[in-house]
Amino acid sequence: MRIALVYPLLEEVGGAERLTLDMYRALRDLGHEVDLYTARLNEDAWQVLTGGMDDIPRPTVLREPLIELMDRLFNRALLLRVLLTAPYLGKHAKKLRHRYDLIIETESNVPLKWADASYIQPSRPRSSQGIISI
């Protein structure tokens, strides 16, 4: 099965980011073809997250001019930025639909129309427990 894993803003080092990478590995180990996508990638966070994980490829970064503007205007309001970024990732997800059997979104904490499955964390601050919404 071809699977796209989408994490809207890979900017922090935390449990949800690590869960996404662990999900990538697990799906790949089960024999699926998996690709990672994000709207923004913080290089320092990526290095910390993937330290010692040479088998994790860099995600494809789907930049949009509005995302760059949001980065400047809402730099501290991460949840707001994630929710505002989701529709733009949805536009890309529609273009990618023909390449994937399954699209999983792992950060926004709300089910999204363009994702076949969304990881919903039960509360903030981030926790290691979660619910898969399909």
pLDDT digits (tens, 9 = 90+) for 90-121: 777 888 888 888 888 877 666 777 888 877 77
Contacts 24+ apart (CB under 8 A), 76-82: 78/9, 78/11, 78/12, 79/109, 79/124, 81/9, 82/8, 82/9, 82/107, 82/108, 82/109
Q: Which domain holds residue 93?
A: 2-133
Provide the CATH number for the domain around residue 15. Answer: 3.40.50
Q: What percent of the chain has pLDDT over 70?
A: 72
Contact 6, 37 (CB under 8 A): yes
Three-state secondary structure call for residue 112: coil
Given a contact cutoff of 8 angstroms between Cβ atoms, the answer to whether 52 and 23 are in contact is no
pLDDT at 134 over 60: no
What average pLDDT does this structure show over 30-52? 90
| Number of domains forming the structure of the chain | 1
For the CA atoms of 96, 94, 102, 81, what is the dihedral angle to 10 degrees?
100
For residues 76 and 80, give the distance between their C-alpha atoms in angstroms, rounded to a whole number.
Answer: 9
Please give the pLDDT value at position 59.
Answer: 93
Please tell me whether residue 58 adopts helix, strand or coil conformation.
Answer: coil
